[in-house]
Every structure is written in structure tokens, then in C-alpha cells.
Structure 1
Amino acid sequence: MKYFYFIILFLLMFISCVETNRSVQETENIYFPLKDYIEELALNLDGKVLLKEVIVNGEKEEIIDTLSSENWLRELDFFIQADINKPSLAAAYETQKNDRELIHQLKKNEKGRVKKIVVNYSGGEVKDITFISGSSNLFYSTQTTGIIYNQGQGGEIENYVVETTQKVVFLKPNKMSITGYVK
């Protein structure tokens, strides 16, 4: 009889663990899965050429390179970092959705680095994704805006733009712009 109680206790503990894992998994996918989306794009970009223009405080540099999917992940890391599918942010955003767009906006009194994500659709496919992120305190502020454009059937990436402004009190702002084209 004492084994019977032990088995019942074990089963109850097992069931509670399964329910906990299921609820965590459900909260991770309540917003657009930006990280997963970028990872899938990177796999399809393996071996493609990147034409990139980087402008930092007016200084311009152009780069042409053929990237592996791993390097594409590093290149598109700004977008991966903008993913808001985290259990701690499960209730932090308001979502608006219609046939053409999906918007996740940080609620008024919530704290989060990513302020807004907008996903535009055409014919059921993602056409572009925009994010706005930023943070500030008494001495420092930063804002980053990124947009990734897709083309044609299959939604392959066409180009992306990331612009960042950093401001330290009493100093001129640092501005950086990265524009990348996939060839």
C-alpha cells in the first residue's frame, strides 16, 4: 500500500511538470516568431552575395561578400535581438492584427527594449518587418530602427536597413546606418 501512495505522488509530480512546460511553450509563441523567421531566412541565404553600405557619423564604407548561413545569422542579429517571444514579456505588448499587418506595441507602463514590431503581409506572405527599439537613462540614450524587405513568391529577403542613434549627455550623437542588399 505504501508503494501505491508513492506511485500516485510520482504521477502527480510528473503531470504538474508537463503542464508547466506546456504553459511556458505557449507563452513563447504569442508574438510573431521573429528569431525563428530570421533563422529560416538565413538558411535560404547560404552562399548568396551581400552588398552592404555602412555609414558611421558620415563615414561611408561599402562591403561585398558571399556569406554562409551562419554569417547571415550574424549579419541579421539586430532582428534576432528584437524578438519579443520571451516568457517575461508575455503580457507586455498590445497586438493589433488584420489581413495586411500585425503590430506588437509595448504597453504604456511596461518596460522593454523593443518598443514596436510591425509585420506587413501581401497575399498571406510576409512583405516586410519593422522594429523600433531603444533605451535611455539620465546620461545615455539609444534608438534603433530596422526593416527587412522580402520579394516575390517565397518571401526571399531583398534588402534590409538598420539605423541606430546613440547619445551620451554633453557629446554629439553617434549615428550608424547599415543597408544590405542580397544578390
Structure 2
Amino acid sequence: MKHCKSFSLGILFVLFGLSSCVDEISNTIETDPYFDLKGFVEENIQKVDNVEVAKVSQIQEEKKEVKVVYSIKDWEEEFSIFKEADINKASMLQSYKTTTSDEGLTHEALPNSKEKVKFVKVTYDDGAVSSVSIKIEDDNLFYSTTTLAAIYIDNATKLFDHYSIETTQKIWFLDENNMKIEGTIVAKD
């Protein structure tokens, strides 16, 4: 009987200890400190699988217009720049200043930061994301590149409506290279 009581007390202490560990673990699980751009893009491209897109590509002065039907894989490739611009990495935690308002939020690289993603701007309409824009810059001795990209959401359907990706690249001793892609969703399933 004495062993049963001490065994029961031992189990009680172990259970209490485990429950406090579980509480401690659940309290340390944190949400991303910055807007989850990668998750946002991954979630929303699922909603526009197999839609028709009017796409305009421009390299320097040469323009090409086509209509294409994008699969999820095509969207992943087209929006890879947005996924690359995700700033939710441990190494970036102290690199950005966040400002918020009812209309949106901005994560902007601090002046002394060496991060390539210069800003992520999110605008809201009635509490839902209406657009996301990013700026990425890379500069070294041999080349410099700047990319500005934006995704716009249709307020009625809450699906991607149109987007633009523009990159300017300058390689040492060569002329500047300008590339731009614009897409507008034409038909939704």
C-alpha cells in the first residue's frame, strides 16, 4: 500500500512535469514576425490553377504578348521571386523595421542592413490583402540588379487579378538590361 501511494505520487509528479513542459513548448511556438509572403503565394496559387493569363513580356524595347493557361507549377515558376523575397528567416530578425496602419503594413530593411530584400509592402482592403509589392537589390563590384514586383488581388473574387515583375540589371562594361513581365488573369474557372 505504501508503495502504491509513492508510485501514484511519482506518476502525479511526472504528469505535472510533462504538462508544464507541454505548456512551455506551446508558449515558445511563435508566429512569423514578418508577413508570410511565401505562404501567401503558395496558398493563393492553388486557387488559380489552370486559368488563362494575358501576359506581356518585354526585354529592352522588344515586347511579346501571349495568352497562356497557367498550372500550379507555372505559377510557382512565375512567382518564384516573391517566394525568394520571404524575410522570415532567423538571420533576418533584426534587419527590418515594420510599420503598420489600417491600410497595410511595410517591412523595410534598416539603413545599415545588408539584406537584398529592401521592402515588402502589403495593402489591405476591408481587412483582406489587396496587394503585395517587393523590392530586391543586389549590388557588387561586377553587377547591380534591382527588381520591383507586385501582385494585386481582385476585391470581389479574392483571387490574383494581375501582377508585374520588373528587373533592371547592369553588368560591368555592358549596357543596362531591362526586363518586364505583366500578367492579367483573363478567365477564371
TM-score normalized with structure 2 length: 0.82
Over 2 Å off, 4+ runs = none
Residue aligning to 2:4: none
Q: Which of the two has higher C-alpha Rg? A: 2
1:178 partner letter: I
Q: Do structure 1's residue 168 and structure 2's residue 163 form an aligned pair?
A: no
Q: 1 CA distance for matches of 2:27 and 2:117?
A: 26
Q: Do structure 1's residue 103 and structure 2's residue 112 form an aligned pair?
A: no
TM-score normalized with structure 1 length: 0.84
1:115 partner letter: K
Q: 1 CA distance for matches of 2:142 and 2:73?
A: 36
Matches within 5 A, 1:1-183: 26=30, 29-183=32-186
Cα shift readout 1:32-90 (whole Å, capped 9, x = no counterpart):
00011001111000111111110001111122111212221111111111111111111
Residue aligning to 1:3: none
Greater Cα shift, 73-82 or 35-44: 73-82
Unmatched 5+ residue regions in structure 2? Answer: 1-13
**Percent identity between the two aligned chains:** 35
1:160 partner letter: Y
Q: 2 CA distance for matches of 1:150 and 1:31?
A: 20
Q: Identify if the C-alpha distance between structure 1 residues 22 and 138 changes in structure 2 by more than 3 Å, giving closer, same or farther.
A: farther
